[in-house]
Amino acid sequence: MPVKSVSFEIPVDGGLLRGHRGGSGRPALLLHGGAAIPDYLGECAAALDGLFETFRYTQRGTPPSGGVPPYTIETHVADAVAVLDRFGLERAWAIGHSWGGHLAMHLALAAPERLEGLLLIDPLGADASAFPEAEATMRRDLTPRQRARIEEIEQRRRDGRVTEAELVERFGLLWPRWFARPEEVELVPSRVGVQASIEVNRSIGEHFKRRTLEAGLPDVALPALFVHGESDPMPLHATQATAALIPGARVEAIPDCGHFPWLEQPAAFRAAVERLLA
């Protein structure tokens, strides 16, 4: 069941970051994926209750949070530090899912002194090499019309002309493919921060070109666990390759599980985290 939480608001340029604090244990900053969809990590926070007190929020530029551009990795890192500052947390765990895991790794490069460790759940990797394989897996069971529609929407996003309705439509088509059993799909986004989606994806691409994580992760001196669902369209070897960049990082693969381990295999997910903390 959801962990009892208290809502909070943190002012940033042009608006507020809106989030929730709850649970008990070591302090942890939860970073959702997307990018640019509302926070969906409430059940993840519940799964970690007793291990972590969690601080989670919807990222800048995505309803119900506000905040003006730029919507870049650097801005999101600064916002994450602002949340830590707001609660007087000198150090905390960074727990990130998907794009949020990617963001957590950038946070580890930019502000390692603020972190106790990294828990990275099916994260976007350090480079873009796995994208073609993941996209092929995601689209394998779609109809030609659905594939064409997704490509049309993604091209419109690259061009900066996409609408929120189109991005929601895209998520509706692809989201079930993130699950080992698509008939049990949960958390399908109904809102998207359009400009944030456009700009964050551009920022990710720019950092891939600069090899920011590939160059910086070998210097990260933090405990790190990568949790990966074996049925995640993003291949396990991509997670393993990224983990290999961080000295001492471990990977735990969870069978019969897609992109959302805390939903699909909650007991195995929590057990993996308990082993990390032990």
pLDDT reported for residue 137: 95
Classify residue 150: in a domain, yes or no.
Answer: no
pTM for the structure as a whole: 0.97
pLDDT at 116 over 60: yes
Q: Residue 66 in contact with residue 16, Cβ under 8 Å?
A: yes
Q: Does 181 reside within a domain?
A: no
> Could you tell me the pLDDT band of residue 266, with boundaries at 50, 70 and 90?
very high
Beta bridge partners of 92: 115
Per residue in 162-220, pLDDT (tens digit) is 999 999 999 999 999 999 999 999 999 999 999 999 999 999 999 999 999 999 999 99
Angle at 72 between CA 55 and CA 203, to 5 degrees: 125
Dihedral of CA atoms 96, 99, 102, 106 in degrees, nearest 10, equals: -90
CA-to-CA distance for 124 and 33, rounded, in angstroms? 9
Q: Confirm whether 60 is domain-assigned.
A: yes
Please tell me the distance from the alpha carbon of residue 10 to that of residue 112, in angstroms, as a whole number: 22
CATH number at residue 246: 3.40.50.1820
Distance CA 141, CA 177 (A): 9
- Counting residues of the chain whose pLDDT is more than 70, the rounded percentage is 99
Residue 264 is assigned to a structural domain of this protein:
yes
Q: What is the DSSP string of 186-219?
A: ----S---HHHHHHHHHHHHHHHHHTHHHHHGGG
In a domain, 82, yes or no: yes
Which tokens is 228 given?
């990966």
Burial of residue 169 (CB within 10 Å: 0-12, 13-18, 19+) is: middle
pLDDT value at residue 1: 57
When the pLDDT of each residue in the chain is averaged and rounded to a whole number, the result is 96
Return d(Cα 181, Cα 98) in angstroms, integer.
Answer: 18
Structural domain for 250, as ranges: 5-141+190-277
For residue 2, the model assigns a pLDDT of: 61
Nearest to 14 by CA among 71, 56, 52: 71
pLDDT of residue 220: 98
Give the gyration radius of the chain's Cα atoms: 17
- Domains in the chain: how many in total? 1
Taking residues 78-105, report their average pLDDT. 98
Mean pLDDT, residues 215-238: 98
Residue 5: predicted pLDDT: 87
7-65 pLDDT, tens digit each: 999 999 999 999 999 999 999 999 999 999 999 999 999 999 999 999 999 999 999 99
In this model, does residue 3 exceed pLDDT 80?
A: no
Angle, CA of 98, 100 and 102, to the nearest 5°: 80
